[in-house]
Protein backbone atom coordinates (compact mmCIF):
# COMPACT_ATOMS: atom_id res chain seq x y z
CA UNK A 1 0.00 0.00 0.00
CA UNK A 2 1.24 3.55 -0.56
CA UNK A 3 2.78 5.43 2.35
CA UNK A 4 0.79 8.27 3.91
CA UNK A 5 1.97 11.70 2.74
CA UNK A 6 4.73 13.40 4.73
CA UNK A 7 4.30 16.03 7.39
CA UNK A 8 6.08 18.77 5.48
CA UNK A 9 7.72 19.14 2.11
CA UNK A 10 11.02 20.78 3.14
CA UNK A 11 12.74 18.11 5.23
CA UNK A 12 12.88 14.63 6.66
CA UNK A 13 10.05 12.91 8.52
CA UNK A 14 11.47 10.15 10.72
CA UNK A 15 9.44 7.60 12.72
CA UNK A 16 11.15 6.49 15.94
CA UNK A 17 8.53 4.53 17.90
CA UNK A 18 5.07 2.97 17.65
CA UNK A 19 2.25 1.99 20.01
CA UNK A 20 -1.09 0.27 19.51
CA UNK A 21 -4.28 1.67 21.02
CA UNK A 22 -6.88 -0.59 22.61
CA UNK A 23 -9.12 -0.05 19.56
CA UNK A 24 -6.37 -1.25 17.22
CA UNK A 25 -5.40 2.16 15.86
CA UNK A 26 -1.69 2.78 15.51
CA UNK A 27 0.27 5.72 16.94
CA UNK A 28 3.59 6.50 15.24
CA UNK A 29 5.93 9.13 16.71
CA UNK A 30 9.19 10.72 15.64
CA UNK A 31 10.20 14.07 14.28
CA UNK A 32 9.64 16.27 11.25
CA UNK A 33 12.10 18.84 9.92
CA UNK A 34 10.36 22.18 9.91
CA UNK A 35 13.32 24.19 8.63
CA UNK A 36 16.85 23.33 7.54
CA UNK A 37 18.00 23.72 11.17
CA UNK A 38 14.93 22.81 13.22
CA UNK A 39 12.64 19.86 13.88
CA UNK A 40 9.53 19.20 15.98
CA UNK A 41 7.75 16.29 17.61
CA UNK A 42 5.66 14.55 14.97
CA UNK A 43 2.79 12.09 15.47
CA UNK A 44 0.53 10.21 13.10
CA UNK A 45 -2.42 7.95 13.86
CA UNK A 46 -3.37 5.23 11.45
CA UNK A 47 -6.58 3.30 11.21
CA UNK A 48 -6.40 -0.47 11.33
CA UNK A 49 -6.23 -0.56 7.53
CA UNK A 50 -3.22 1.79 7.48
CA UNK A 51 -5.00 4.95 6.35
CA UNK A 52 -4.52 8.17 8.27
CA UNK A 53 -7.18 8.78 10.92
CA UNK A 54 -8.81 12.16 10.13
CA UNK A 55 -10.19 12.43 13.69
CA UNK A 56 -6.64 12.85 15.00
CA UNK A 57 -4.92 16.22 14.71
CA UNK A 58 -4.96 17.62 11.19
CA UNK A 59 -5.75 14.85 8.77
CA UNK A 60 -4.25 12.25 11.09
CA UNK A 61 -1.03 14.17 11.86
CA UNK A 62 0.22 16.37 14.71
CA UNK A 63 3.35 18.53 14.95
CA UNK A 64 4.43 20.01 18.31
CA UNK A 65 7.31 22.40 18.96
CA UNK A 66 8.69 22.05 22.49
CA UNK A 67 11.28 24.77 21.86
CA UNK A 68 12.33 27.29 19.23
CA UNK A 69 15.10 24.95 18.12
CA UNK A 70 15.27 21.22 17.36
CA UNK A 71 12.99 18.71 19.09
CA UNK A 72 12.93 14.95 18.50
CA UNK A 73 10.52 12.34 19.88
CA UNK A 74 11.97 8.90 20.63
CA UNK A 75 9.33 6.99 22.61
CA UNK A 76 5.59 6.69 23.15
CA UNK A 77 3.26 5.05 25.64
CA UNK A 78 -0.52 5.08 25.85
CA UNK A 79 -2.36 5.56 29.15
CA UNK A 80 -5.37 3.40 30.07
CA UNK A 81 -7.60 6.47 29.47
CA UNK A 82 -6.29 6.71 25.90
CA UNK A 83 -4.07 9.74 26.39
CA UNK A 84 -0.75 9.56 24.58
CA UNK A 85 2.58 10.29 26.29
CA UNK A 86 5.55 11.05 24.03
CA UNK A 87 9.13 11.48 25.26
CA UNK A 88 12.31 12.75 23.64
CA UNK A 89 14.58 15.76 23.75
CA UNK A 90 14.45 19.45 23.18
CA UNK A 91 17.63 21.20 22.08
CA UNK A 92 18.45 24.64 23.36
CA UNK A 93 21.39 26.91 22.63
CA UNK A 94 23.81 25.19 24.99
CA UNK A 95 22.04 22.09 26.25
CA UNK A 96 19.50 19.35 25.64
CA UNK A 97 16.70 18.49 28.07
CA UNK A 98 14.15 15.72 28.58
CA UNK A 99 10.95 16.69 26.79
CA UNK A 100 7.54 15.08 27.38
CA UNK A 101 4.26 15.91 25.71
CA UNK A 102 0.89 14.40 26.57
CA UNK A 103 -1.91 14.42 24.03
CA UNK A 104 -5.63 13.95 24.32
CA UNK A 105 -7.17 11.15 22.28
CA UNK A 106 -7.91 13.61 19.44
CA UNK A 107 -4.28 14.73 19.19
CA UNK A 108 -4.58 18.06 20.97
CA UNK A 109 -2.02 18.77 23.73
CA UNK A 110 -3.41 17.93 27.17
CA UNK A 111 -3.60 21.20 29.09
CA UNK A 112 -3.78 19.34 32.43
CA UNK A 113 -0.21 18.14 31.90
CA UNK A 114 2.70 20.52 32.50
CA UNK A 115 2.43 23.79 30.57
CA UNK A 116 0.02 23.43 27.67
CA UNK A 117 0.76 19.71 27.60
CA UNK A 118 4.56 20.06 27.60
CA UNK A 119 7.11 19.28 30.33
CA UNK A 120 10.82 20.12 29.98
CA UNK A 121 13.25 18.59 32.52
CA UNK A 122 16.91 19.61 32.82
CA UNK A 123 19.05 17.42 35.07
CA UNK A 124 21.63 20.13 35.65
CA UNK A 125 22.66 23.43 34.14
CA UNK A 126 24.32 23.00 30.76
CA UNK A 127 23.90 19.21 30.67
CA UNK A 128 22.77 17.20 27.68
CA UNK A 129 19.72 15.23 28.81
CA UNK A 130 18.00 12.88 26.35
CA UNK A 131 14.92 10.74 27.04
CA UNK A 132 15.00 7.55 24.98
CA UNK A 133 12.19 5.57 26.61
CA UNK A 134 8.95 6.07 28.52
CA UNK A 135 6.61 3.85 30.52
CA UNK A 136 3.42 4.41 32.50
CA UNK A 137 2.98 2.87 35.92
CA UNK A 138 -0.26 1.30 37.12
CA UNK A 139 -0.81 4.33 39.39
CA UNK A 140 -0.60 6.71 36.42
CA UNK A 141 2.88 8.01 37.14
CA UNK A 142 5.20 8.34 34.15
CA UNK A 143 8.80 7.10 34.03
CA UNK A 144 11.20 8.46 31.40
CA UNK A 145 14.68 7.02 30.92
CA UNK A 146 17.72 8.10 28.95
CA UNK A 147 20.99 9.82 29.74
CA UNK A 148 22.49 12.97 31.14
CA UNK A 149 25.96 14.09 30.17
CA UNK A 150 28.23 17.03 30.66
CA UNK A 151 30.79 15.75 28.19
CA UNK A 152 31.51 13.13 25.58
CA UNK A 153 32.51 10.34 27.98
CA UNK A 154 31.05 11.39 31.32
CA UNK A 155 27.40 10.48 31.01
CA UNK A 156 25.02 8.77 33.44
CA UNK A 157 21.86 6.76 33.01
CA UNK A 158 19.07 9.19 33.84
CA UNK A 159 15.51 8.51 35.00
CA UNK A 160 12.76 10.95 35.87
CA UNK A 161 9.34 10.13 37.28
CA UNK A 162 6.37 12.41 36.90
CA UNK A 163 3.03 12.67 38.61
CA UNK A 164 -0.06 12.48 36.43
CA UNK A 165 -0.10 16.28 36.11
CA UNK A 166 3.49 16.41 34.82
CA UNK A 167 5.15 17.60 38.02
CA UNK A 168 8.22 15.72 39.14
CA UNK A 169 7.49 13.05 41.75
CA UNK A 170 9.39 13.99 44.90
CA UNK A 171 9.02 10.43 46.21
CA UNK A 172 11.38 9.24 43.49
CA UNK A 173 15.12 9.74 43.78
CA UNK A 174 16.11 13.33 44.44
CA UNK A 175 13.35 15.69 43.43
CA UNK A 176 11.96 13.14 40.98
CA UNK A 177 15.28 12.39 39.25
CA UNK A 178 17.86 9.61 39.46
CA UNK A 179 21.30 9.32 37.85
CA UNK A 180 23.36 6.12 37.80
CA UNK A 181 26.96 5.46 36.82
CA UNK A 182 28.25 2.00 35.94
CA UNK A 183 31.25 3.06 33.88
CA UNK A 184 31.78 6.17 31.81
CA UNK A 185 29.29 7.38 29.19
CA UNK A 186 26.27 5.36 30.40
CA UNK A 187 22.99 5.47 28.50
CA UNK A 188 19.52 3.89 28.93
CA UNK A 189 17.75 3.13 25.67
CA UNK A 190 14.85 1.14 27.09
CA UNK A 191 12.78 0.94 30.28
CA UNK A 192 10.33 -1.67 31.57
CA UNK A 193 8.15 -1.95 34.67
CA UNK A 194 7.83 -5.07 36.79
CA UNK A 195 4.48 -6.01 38.36
CA UNK A 196 5.96 -5.34 41.82
CA UNK A 197 6.68 -1.72 40.89
CA UNK A 198 10.41 -2.10 40.30
CA UNK A 199 11.88 -0.34 37.27
CA UNK A 200 14.37 -1.92 34.88
CA UNK A 201 16.47 0.24 32.54
CA UNK A 202 18.80 -1.13 29.88
CA UNK A 203 21.38 0.39 27.56
CA UNK A 204 25.14 0.64 27.63
CA UNK A 205 28.07 1.32 29.91
CA UNK A 206 31.08 2.52 28.00
CA UNK A 207 34.70 2.09 28.92
CA UNK A 208 35.53 4.76 26.37
CA UNK A 209 34.21 6.43 23.24
CA UNK A 210 34.42 3.30 21.05
CA UNK A 211 33.83 0.39 23.43
CA UNK A 212 30.81 -0.57 25.48
CA UNK A 213 29.05 -3.36 27.35
CA UNK A 214 25.36 -4.03 27.73
CA UNK A 215 24.05 -2.51 30.95
CA UNK A 216 20.94 -3.31 32.98
CA UNK A 217 19.95 -1.46 36.15
CA UNK A 218 17.01 -2.24 38.43
CA UNK A 219 15.50 0.31 40.78
CA UNK A 220 13.08 0.03 43.65
CA UNK A 221 9.86 1.95 43.29
CA UNK A 222 11.38 4.92 45.16
CA UNK A 223 14.28 5.18 42.71
CA UNK A 224 16.89 3.59 44.95
CA UNK A 225 19.04 0.85 43.43
CA UNK A 226 17.73 -2.67 44.06
CA UNK A 227 20.47 -4.52 45.95
CA UNK A 228 18.80 -7.85 45.14
CA UNK A 229 19.77 -7.42 41.50
CA UNK A 230 23.29 -7.87 40.21
CA UNK A 231 25.89 -5.92 42.16
CA UNK A 232 24.22 -3.05 43.95
CA UNK A 233 21.38 -3.04 41.42
CA UNK A 234 23.64 -3.02 38.35
CA UNK A 235 24.72 -5.60 35.76
CA UNK A 236 27.20 -5.05 32.93
CA UNK A 237 27.40 -7.81 30.31
CA UNK A 238 30.07 -7.87 27.62
CA UNK A 239 29.08 -9.83 24.52
CA UNK A 240 31.47 -8.49 21.91
CA UNK A 241 33.02 -5.13 21.15
CA UNK A 242 30.76 -2.08 21.39
CA UNK A 243 27.70 -4.04 22.49
CA UNK A 244 24.65 -2.27 23.87
CA UNK A 245 20.98 -3.03 24.60
CA UNK A 246 18.40 -1.07 22.68
CA UNK A 247 15.26 -2.87 23.88
CA UNK A 248 14.16 -4.89 26.89
CA UNK A 249 11.17 -6.93 28.03
CA UNK A 250 10.20 -8.65 31.27
CA UNK A 251 8.76 -12.15 31.00
CA UNK A 252 5.82 -13.18 33.21
CA UNK A 253 8.20 -15.44 35.15
CA UNK A 254 10.30 -12.40 36.07
CA UNK A 255 13.20 -13.10 33.73
CA UNK A 256 14.57 -10.13 31.79
CA UNK A 257 15.41 -10.31 28.08
CA UNK A 258 17.42 -7.65 26.30
CA UNK A 259 18.06 -7.35 22.59
CA UNK A 260 20.94 -5.40 21.19
CA UNK A 261 23.70 -4.96 18.71
CA UNK A 262 27.30 -3.88 18.37
CA UNK A 263 28.03 -0.37 17.18
CA UNK A 264 30.26 0.01 14.12
CA UNK A 265 30.70 -3.76 13.53
CA UNK A 266 27.24 -5.28 13.91
CA UNK A 267 27.05 -8.69 12.23
CA UNK A 268 24.29 -10.43 14.20
CA UNK A 269 21.20 -10.13 16.36
CA UNK A 270 22.14 -10.45 20.04
CA UNK A 271 19.88 -11.53 22.92
CA UNK A 272 20.72 -11.84 26.60
CA UNK A 273 18.41 -13.26 29.26
CA UNK A 274 18.79 -12.72 32.98
CA UNK A 275 17.24 -14.42 35.96
CA UNK A 276 15.24 -12.20 38.30
CA UNK A 277 18.35 -11.64 40.45
CA UNK A 278 20.42 -10.35 37.52
CA UNK A 279 22.48 -13.49 36.95
CA UNK A 280 22.70 -14.78 33.41
CA UNK A 281 20.09 -17.46 32.66
CA UNK A 282 22.13 -20.56 31.78
CA UNK A 283 19.04 -22.27 30.31
CA UNK A 284 18.93 -19.68 27.51
CA UNK A 285 21.31 -20.01 24.56
CA UNK A 286 24.97 -20.31 25.55
CA UNK A 287 25.30 -19.12 29.13
CA UNK A 288 22.36 -16.74 28.78
CA UNK A 289 23.40 -15.26 25.43
CA UNK A 290 22.23 -15.88 21.85
CA UNK A 291 24.00 -14.55 18.75
CA UNK A 292 22.12 -14.88 15.45
CA UNK A 293 23.68 -13.91 12.11
CA UNK A 294 20.75 -13.16 9.80
CA UNK A 295 22.71 -12.42 6.64
CA UNK A 296 26.31 -12.27 5.42
CA UNK A 297 26.65 -8.51 6.01
CA UNK A 298 25.58 -6.07 8.68
CA UNK A 299 22.83 -7.21 11.07
CA UNK A 300 21.35 -5.27 13.95
CA UNK A 301 18.43 -5.86 16.32
CA UNK A 302 16.43 -2.79 17.24
CA UNK A 303 13.20 -3.97 18.88
CA UNK A 304 11.81 -6.88 20.89
CA UNK A 305 8.37 -8.25 21.75
CA UNK A 306 6.87 -11.18 23.64
CA UNK A 307 4.08 -13.33 22.21
CA UNK A 308 1.34 -14.72 24.49
CA UNK A 309 2.85 -18.20 24.04
CA UNK A 310 6.20 -16.98 25.39
CA UNK A 311 8.06 -16.85 22.10
CA UNK A 312 10.34 -13.84 21.64
CA UNK A 313 10.20 -11.76 18.46
CA UNK A 314 13.13 -9.50 17.55
CA UNK A 315 13.20 -7.05 14.64
CA UNK A 316 15.95 -5.05 13.01
CA UNK A 317 17.80 -4.99 9.72
CA UNK A 318 20.05 -7.28 7.70
CA UNK A 319 22.26 -6.68 4.65
CA UNK A 320 24.37 -8.96 2.50
CA UNK A 321 28.15 -8.66 2.46
CA UNK A 322 29.36 -5.88 0.19
CA UNK A 323 25.89 -4.35 -0.09
CA UNK A 324 24.83 -0.94 1.17
CA UNK A 325 21.17 -1.95 1.04
CA UNK A 326 19.57 -3.33 4.19
CA UNK A 327 16.22 -5.08 4.54
CA UNK A 328 13.72 -5.52 7.36
CA UNK A 329 14.66 -8.60 9.41
CA UNK A 330 12.60 -10.56 11.94
CA UNK A 331 13.71 -13.49 14.07
CA UNK A 332 11.53 -15.50 16.45
CA UNK A 333 12.98 -17.47 19.35
CA UNK A 334 11.62 -20.21 21.58
CA UNK A 335 11.71 -18.04 24.64
CA UNK A 336 10.14 -19.08 27.90
CA UNK A 337 10.73 -22.42 29.55
CA UNK A 338 7.40 -22.90 31.29
CA UNK A 339 7.48 -23.33 35.04
CA UNK A 340 5.22 -24.59 37.80
CA UNK A 341 4.70 -21.76 40.26
CA UNK A 342 6.18 -21.97 43.75
CA UNK A 343 6.01 -20.05 46.97
CA UNK A 344 8.51 -17.19 47.27
CA UNK A 345 12.11 -18.35 47.80
CA UNK A 346 10.99 -21.98 47.93
CA UNK A 347 10.35 -25.03 45.75
CA UNK A 348 7.05 -25.62 47.57
CA UNK A 349 4.29 -25.69 44.96
CA UNK A 350 1.51 -23.14 44.83
CA UNK A 351 -1.21 -25.79 44.92
CA UNK A 352 -4.91 -25.96 45.85
CA UNK A 353 -7.37 -28.74 46.44
CA UNK A 354 -9.37 -28.57 43.21
CA UNK A 355 -12.70 -28.80 45.10
CA UNK A 356 -12.23 -27.15 48.50
CA UNK A 357 -9.49 -24.71 47.36
CA UNK A 358 -7.54 -25.52 50.51
CA UNK A 359 -3.76 -25.44 50.41
CA UNK A 360 -1.18 -28.08 51.31
CA UNK A 361 -0.94 -30.55 52.99
CA UNK A 362 -3.37 -32.79 51.10
CA UNK A 363 -5.11 -36.00 52.11
CA UNK A 364 -5.24 -38.84 49.62
CA UNK A 365 -9.03 -39.05 49.87
CA UNK A 366 -11.48 -36.17 49.99
CA UNK A 367 -15.19 -36.35 50.94
CA UNK A 368 -15.77 -33.58 48.40
CA UNK A 369 -15.30 -35.08 44.97
CA UNK A 370 -16.04 -34.73 41.27
CA UNK A 371 -17.10 -38.34 40.69
CA UNK A 372 -17.59 -41.56 42.66
CA UNK A 373 -13.79 -41.65 42.87
CA UNK A 374 -12.96 -39.95 46.18
CA UNK A 375 -9.28 -39.45 45.47
CA UNK A 376 -8.09 -35.88 45.88
CA UNK A 377 -7.45 -33.67 42.87
CA UNK A 378 -5.00 -30.85 43.23
CA UNK A 379 -4.53 -27.78 41.08
CA UNK A 380 -1.04 -26.67 40.12
CA UNK A 381 -0.31 -23.48 38.22
CA UNK A 382 2.12 -23.14 35.33
CA UNK A 383 3.42 -19.98 33.67
CA UNK A 384 3.59 -19.48 29.91
CA UNK A 385 2.62 -22.95 28.73
CA UNK A 386 0.96 -21.30 25.73
CA UNK A 387 -2.01 -23.69 25.76
CA UNK A 388 -4.90 -23.02 23.37
CA UNK A 389 -8.41 -22.48 24.82
CA UNK A 390 -10.22 -25.53 26.22
CA UNK A 391 -9.07 -28.64 28.02
CA UNK A 392 -5.60 -29.74 26.97
CA UNK A 393 -5.19 -32.63 29.40
CA UNK A 394 -4.33 -35.06 26.60
CA UNK A 395 -1.16 -33.17 25.68
CA UNK A 396 0.18 -32.72 29.21
CA UNK A 397 1.79 -35.53 31.18
CA UNK A 398 2.84 -35.46 34.81
CA UNK A 399 4.87 -37.54 37.19
CA UNK A 400 5.86 -37.56 40.84
CA UNK A 401 8.92 -38.72 42.74
CA UNK A 402 8.86 -39.63 46.43
CA UNK A 403 11.66 -39.39 48.97
CA UNK A 404 12.71 -42.94 48.05
CA UNK A 405 13.15 -41.73 44.44
CA UNK A 406 10.29 -43.90 43.19
CA UNK A 407 8.54 -42.52 40.11
CA UNK A 408 4.76 -42.41 39.78
CA UNK A 409 2.89 -41.42 36.61
CA UNK A 410 0.03 -39.03 37.38
CA UNK A 411 -3.31 -38.60 35.66
CA UNK A 412 -3.89 -35.08 34.28
CA UNK A 413 -7.62 -34.37 34.26
CA UNK A 414 -7.55 -30.76 33.12
CA UNK A 415 -5.04 -28.31 31.67
CA UNK A 416 -6.05 -24.90 30.42
CA UNK A 417 -5.75 -21.15 30.66
CA UNK A 418 -6.77 -19.24 33.77
CA UNK A 419 -9.37 -16.69 32.59
CA UNK A 420 -8.02 -13.16 32.06
CA UNK A 421 -4.41 -14.31 32.61
CA UNK A 422 -3.01 -15.31 29.22
CA UNK A 423 0.31 -16.40 30.73
CA UNK A 424 -1.11 -18.57 33.53
CA UNK A 425 -2.39 -22.13 33.17
CA UNK A 426 -4.12 -24.46 35.63
CA UNK A 427 -3.20 -28.16 35.69
CA UNK A 428 -5.43 -30.51 37.71
CA UNK A 429 -3.97 -33.90 38.60
CA UNK A 430 -5.45 -36.89 40.48
CA UNK A 431 -3.42 -38.34 43.33
CA UNK A 432 -2.69 -42.08 42.97
CA UNK A 433 -3.42 -44.74 45.59
CA UNK A 434 0.31 -45.18 46.22
CA UNK A 435 0.43 -41.72 47.82
CA UNK A 436 -1.07 -42.82 51.15
CA UNK A 437 0.88 -40.77 53.75
CA UNK A 438 3.67 -40.25 51.21
CA UNK A 439 4.92 -37.05 52.81
CA UNK A 440 6.78 -34.69 50.47
CA UNK A 441 6.70 -35.64 46.80
CA UNK A 442 8.14 -33.71 43.86
CA UNK A 443 5.91 -33.21 40.82
CA UNK A 444 6.77 -32.09 37.29
CA UNK A 445 4.83 -31.82 34.05
CA UNK A 446 5.85 -32.32 30.43
CA UNK A 447 4.51 -30.51 27.38
CA UNK A 448 5.73 -30.95 23.81
CA UNK A 449 8.86 -32.71 25.00
CA UNK A 450 9.81 -30.01 27.52
CA UNK A 451 9.79 -30.82 31.23
CA UNK A 452 9.04 -28.24 33.88
CA UNK A 453 10.80 -27.60 37.13
CA UNK A 454 10.04 -29.94 40.06
CA UNK A 455 7.83 -28.63 42.83
CA UNK A 456 7.11 -30.08 46.26
CA UNK A 457 3.62 -31.15 47.38
CA UNK A 458 2.97 -32.61 50.83
CA UNK A 459 0.63 -35.61 51.18
CA UNK A 460 -0.50 -36.48 54.72
Q: Residue 264's pLDDT is what?
A: 59
Q: Residue 337's pLDDT is what?
A: 62
Q: Residue 179's pLDDT is what?
A: 95
CA dihedral 451, 456, 457, 459 (to 10 degrees): 120
CA dihedral 319, 336, 195, 204 (to 10 degrees): -40
pLDDT one-digit tens code per residue, 16-44: 889 999 999 999 998 888 765 678 899 99
Domains of the chain: 13-336 (2.120.10), 340-459 (2.60.40.10)
pTM: 0.72
Q: Is the pLDDT of residue 216 over 90?
A: yes
d(CA 257, CA 238): 15
Mean pLDDT for the chain overall: 85
% of the chain surpassing 90 pLDDT: 45
Give the residue from 145, 58, 57, 59 showing the smallest Cα distance to 98.
Answer: 145
Question: Would you call the peptide bond into 122 cis, given omega within 30 degrees of 0 as the criterion?
Answer: no
Q: Residue 438's pLDDT is what?
A: 72
Q: Residue 209's pLDDT is what?
A: 47
d(CA 434, CA 437): 9
Strand 184-193 relative to strand 211-219: parallel, antiparallel, unpaired? unpaired
pLDDT band at 265 (very low <50, low <70, confident <90, very high): low
Q: Is the pLDDT of residue 154 over 70?
A: no
End-to-end CA distance of the chain: 66
Q: Residue 37's pLDDT is what?
A: 61
Q: Is the pLDDT of residue 450 over 80?
A: no
Q: Residue 153's pLDDT is what?
A: 43
Give the residue from 290, 285, 300, 455 showing the smallest Cα distance to 378.
Answer: 455
pLDDT one-digit tens code per residue, 78-104: 999 999 999 999 987 678 899 999 999
Q: Residue 99's pLDDT is what?
A: 95
**Which residues in 199-230 are b (16+ Cβ under 10 Å) and which e?**
bbbbbbbbeeeebbbbbbbbbbbebebbeebb
For the beta sheet containing 256-262, the strands, ordered from the edge strand earlier in sequence to the opposite edge, are: 243-250, 256-262, 269-274, 289-292
What is the number of other CB atoms lying within 10 angstroms of the CB of residue 46? 18
Amino acid sequence: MPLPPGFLCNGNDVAQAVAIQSDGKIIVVGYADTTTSSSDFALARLNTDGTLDPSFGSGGKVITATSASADTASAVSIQPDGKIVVAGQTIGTYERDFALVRYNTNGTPDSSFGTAGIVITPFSSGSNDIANAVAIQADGKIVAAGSTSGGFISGAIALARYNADGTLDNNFGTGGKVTTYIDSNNVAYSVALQPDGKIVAAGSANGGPISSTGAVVRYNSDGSLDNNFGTGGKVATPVNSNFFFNAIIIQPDGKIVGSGTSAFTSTMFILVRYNADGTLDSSFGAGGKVNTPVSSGGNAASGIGLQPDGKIVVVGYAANSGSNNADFATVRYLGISFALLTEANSNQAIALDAVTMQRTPFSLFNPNYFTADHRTRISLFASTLGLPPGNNSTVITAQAEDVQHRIYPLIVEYAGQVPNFYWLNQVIIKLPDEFQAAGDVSISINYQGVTSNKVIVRIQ
